[in-house]
Amino acid sequence: MTHPWFAGVATPRVLAHRGLVTPEAAHSGVVENSFAAVAAAHSAGALYVESDCHLTADGTVVLFHDDDLSRVTGDPRKVADVSARELEHLMTGRGGLITLAQALDAFPTLRFNLDVKATDAASAVGTTVAPFADRVLVTSFSDERRRAALLAAAATNSTVRPATSGGRGAIARVLAAVAARSDRLVAHALAGIDALQVPERQGRLRIVTPRLIAAAHRHGVEVHVWTVNEPDDMRRLVAMGVDGIVTDRADVALAALT
């Protein structure tokens, strides 16, 4: 059965990577994963927002990519070492802090693709998204963090679980199974996974191939590619059969693919 996160939306899916920050918005100081960036993606017509989750010192899940604040705010401290109030102050003038709870409440029509970036955040992410599990996909490079978030969500909401995409370990097993041309191993590697979210290449290794896409589709799993910002690349990947494009320029992608 198709998870509600996927239902009612035609492919290719456009996933706004950390929201949407146009060059003009960036010039005015808006940064990724801010309230303004999520609002801009929504205003541009994006139905999906890809974001990242960290936990503050006082236990608030916030949308933030890095484990420290230096790149985005110039403050060298880690997200885990500041309170939500302190982070809110630091994000003033940068588009505004947005917590996970605020994002789910303020944008009820958006579907979120959430990358659990910290082990300490996993359980809090799961319990926060549980009431909204029909419009949340949980992922992480760490399958352990991903599973911990899913277990926390299941403990809170036994009716609907969040959708999920595989972490590094799961993806490695899928790629090995595809290379071995074993559909049995592919099925085993994809068990419990709704999507593969991968880069087109990892160094010199090509990840996204027609064979991978066909294998995923045989088992009802979508393939989403990150992070794609050039319209020609978006169109080429969609023509290859990918189901979703993760992009910094959701506005450009929506114009190119719809």
Helix (H, G, I), strand (E, B) or coil at 18: coil
Can you tell me the distance from the alpha carbon of 238 to that of 251, in angstroms, rounded to the nearest whole number?
Answer: 17
The residues, any chain, with a CB within 8 Å of residue 121's CB and separated by 6 or more, are 53, 54, 55, 61, 145
Over residues 66-75, the mean pLDDT reads: 98
Quick: pLDDT tens for 89-125. 999 999 999 999 999 999 999 999 999 999 999 999 9
Quick: pLDDT tens for 45-62. 999 999 999 999 999 999
What is the set of active-site residues?
Answer: 27, 65
Instruction: Round the average pLDDT of the chain to a whole number and report it.
Output: 97
- Of the pLDDT bands very low, low, confident and very high (cuts 50, 70, 90), residue 258 is confident
Is the model's pLDDT at 157 over the cut of 90? no
**CATH for the stretch 13-164+235-248:** 3.20.20.190
- Domain map of the chain by residue range? 13-164+235-248, 165-226
Would you state the structure tokens that stand for residue 34, as one six-digit string? 């801010």
Over residues 193-218, the mean pLDDT reads: 97
Would you state the structure tokens that stand for residue 136, as one six-digit string? 């949340």
Helix (H, G, I), strand (E, B) or coil at 105: helix
Is the model's pLDDT at 204 over the cut of 80? yes
Counting Cα atoms < 13 Å in the Cβ hemisphere of 219 gives: 24
Q: Which of 137, 123, 6, 120 is nearest to 67 (CA)?
A: 120
